[in-house]
Amino acid sequence: ISYSQLLLYIIMYSLLEGITIDTFWLRLKTTKNFPLAVDDKSKTFLWRCLVSVKDFKFYELKEERNDPVVYNKEDCVDPHTGYLVEYDLGTESDIYPIEIISDDNIQGSCSTYKTRKDVTDDVRDKRYQPKLSLQEVMDKYGNRLVVVASQEQRSMALMGPEFDPTFVLPDMNYCILERIGRYDVRILLTTAIDFYVV
């Protein structure tokens, strides 16, 4: 897998809720074998990569979103058998509460869908180049800015590249699939992945 594919996966699996920039860095830092150091220099480069993807939109939330708790896959493995076992998630509050959305071909769960504001045109220009530097974006929005993949990209992440866009799951089923996908990708990211740099 290339690092550019990984960036796509992280945003696609952030589903309709999207992902804040800080959580995006967190996901990269906790991805085993990621070939780039997640430092100021690479963050500037990766920000430009995010902005250049036409299937991504940028939204401003009314309030900042907390970072998720990151679970280590190694904590979910029985040391004697090597099998994955149930992990105690404790009482941490879920930063992605379920709120089913079905709105003009948009499907999924998003508690901020009706209150967030599309700021894509403030963040990038028509040529998919950044209007704001990463520092300017963080100063202006902080953890109120989320990146969201298109419906087609999110559905492809959940159902695989051969999914038929004309096939529509019932809303509840789609949201259950989202929930499974969100937690499956956490295990994927904390498992050793072979990267090649493109």
| In contact, 152 and 55? CB cutoff 8 Å | yes
129-160 pLDDT per residue, tens: 999 999 999 999 999 999 999 999 999 888 88
2-19 pLDDT per residue, tens: 777 888 888 998 999 999
CA dihedral 61, 32, 194, 46 (to 10 degrees): 40
Question: What average pLDDT is seen over the chain?
Answer: 85
Task: Write out the two tokens for 169.
Answer: 């799951």
d(CA 155, CA 13): 9
- How much is the pTM? 0.84
Nearest to 151 by CA among 111, 188, 104, 117: 104
d(CA 84, CA 69): 19
Task: Identify the pLDDT of residue 70.
Answer: 66
